[in-house]
């Protein structure tokens, strides 16, 4: 059943925690209808945020979810491909199974959801696609073979999608956050502490000290950048890598 809306529609993958949750909240506050595709629902249930249980590694489920959204709302203005997973390890320490899992979640899911939204965006002659990449799309970090590779792939996707679909007035950009204080960040720190026996508070302080601004970024700051890039004020920005890292990659 179609439920046409005057609100713009934004789809966010992995919108239940961290950066994704902040993006859902930001767009909903700016009068977007937001649909969060995730396998867990821990959002605050703010107005205009609809949760759809969806395993983003299941291409049929993703395609079906997007089809239902476009049928229900009659439009799809913004896609934020945010869902991702971290994995620490060198190339030798990364098993075939680990690599496949990270690549499936971080890259293949982004490909699937991009393919799913493009027909509607092309038909309406407008759309914005944002990929949440990483500062590791620009630089390398130790013990990050699989994760680094996937984030570089997302940066490439933003560039090629921008070129291929500019004639349809579809813009694509990659946001490249540095160290942002999210559950994903804390999970990575916890794993490191478990392996090394280091003190978590000390590790946290050392991470903050590595940033020229002397602190970690916050999810709301990334969300603000995402909203700007989706807005008309950013109408001439496409195919770009937008770094938000407290100056880390300038060192």
pLDDT surpasses 90 at 68:
yes
Determine contact, residues 3/73, Cβ cutoff 8 Å.
Answer: yes
* Confidence band for 43, pLDDT divided at 50, 70 and 90: low
Mean model confidence pLDDT for the chain? 95
User: What is the C-alpha to C-alpha distance for residues 146 and 44, in angstroms, rounded to an integer?
Assistant: 32
Q: List the beta bridge partners of residue 130.
A: 80, 173
User: What is the C-alpha to C-alpha distance for residues 41 and 126, in angstroms, rounded to an integer?
Assistant: 29
User: What is the C-alpha to C-alpha distance for residues 64 and 7, in angstroms, rounded to an integer?
Assistant: 22
Element (H, E) at 153: helix 145-165
Q: pLDDT above 90 covers what percent of the chain?
A: 89
> What is the mean pLDDT of the segment spanning 198-212?
94
What pLDDT was estimated at residue 184?
82
Burial class (CB in 10 A: 0-12, 13-18, 19+), 64: middle
User: What is the C-alpha to C-alpha distance for residues 235 and 69, in angstroms, rounded to an integer?
Assistant: 25
What pLDDT was estimated at residue 44?
63
What pLDDT was estimated at residue 52?
97
What pLDDT was estimated at residue 47?
81
What pLDDT was estimated at residue 1?
41
What pLDDT was estimated at residue 45?
61
pLDDT surpasses 70 at 193:
yes
> What is the mean pLDDT of the segment spanning 35-53?
87
Q: Which of 51, 73, 131, 147 is catalytic?
A: 147
Tell me the two tokens of residue 213.
């601004």
Look up tokens 């046409």; give the residue: 4
DSSP string, 155-193: HHHHHHHHHHHGGGTEEEEEEEE-SB-SHHHHHHHHHHH
pLDDT surpasses 80 at 4:
no
> What is the mean pLDDT of the segment spanning 166-176?
98
In the DSSP assignment, the letter for residue 234 is G
User: What is the C-alpha to C-alpha distance for residues 56 and 80, in angstroms, rounded to an integer?
Assistant: 13
71-116 residue pLDDT tens = 999 999 999 999 999 998 999 999 999 999 999 999 999 999 999 9
Q: Nearest CA to 188 among 91, 102, 95, 100?
A: 102
Catalytic (active site) residue 73: no
The runs of H, that is alpha helices, within 17-144 are 18-29, 59-73, 96-103, 109-124
User: What is the C-alpha to C-alpha distance for residues 221 and 75, in angstroms, rounded to an integer?
Assistant: 27
* Residue-range domain boundaries for the chain: 8-180+218-250
Question: Given CA atoms 50, 123, 160, 26 in this order, what sign does their dihedral have?
Answer: negative
DSSP string, 184-225: HHHHHHHHHHHHH---HHHHHHHHHHHSTTSS-B-HHHHHHH
pLDDT surpasses 70 at 208:
yes
Q: Which residue has the higher pLDDT, 5 or 48?
A: 48
Q: How far, rounded to the nearest angstrom, does the alpha carbon of residue 72 sit from its chain's CA centroid?
A: 24
What pLDDT was estimated at residue 232?
97
Q: Which fold has domain 8-180+218-250?
A: Rossmann fold (3.40.50)
């Amino acid at each position: 059943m179609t439920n046409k809306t005057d609100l713009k529609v934004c789809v966010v993958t992995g919108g239940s925690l961290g950066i994704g949750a902040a993006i859902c909240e930001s767009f909903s506050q700016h009068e977007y209808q937001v649909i969060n595709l995730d396998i867990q629902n821990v959002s605050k249930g703010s107005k205009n945020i609809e949760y759809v249980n969806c395993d983003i590694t299941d291409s049929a489920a993703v395609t079906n979810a997007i089809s239902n959204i476009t049928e229900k709302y009659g439009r799809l203005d913004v896609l934020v491909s945010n869902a991702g997973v971290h994995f620490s390890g060198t190339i030798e320490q990364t098993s075939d199974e680990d690599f496949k899992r990270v690549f499936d979640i971080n890259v293949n899911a982004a490909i699937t959801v991009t393919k799913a939204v493009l027909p509607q965006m092309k038909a309406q002659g407008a759309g914005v696609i944002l990929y949440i990449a990483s500062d590791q799309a620009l630089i390398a970090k130790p013990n990050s073979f699989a994760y680094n590779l996937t984030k570089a792939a997302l940066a490439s996707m933003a560039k090629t999608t921008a070129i291929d679909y500019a004639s349809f007035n579809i813009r694509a950009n990659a946001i490249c956050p540095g160290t942002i204080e999210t559950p994903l960040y804390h999970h990575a720190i916890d794993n490191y502490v478990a392996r090394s026996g280091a003190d978590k508070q000390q590790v946290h302080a050392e991470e903050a000290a590595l940033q020229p601004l002397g602190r970690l970024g916050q999810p709301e700051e990334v969300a603000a950048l995402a909203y700007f890039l989706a807005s008309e004020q950013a109408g001439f920005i496409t195919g770009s890598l937008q770094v938000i890292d407290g100056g880390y990659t300038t060192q």
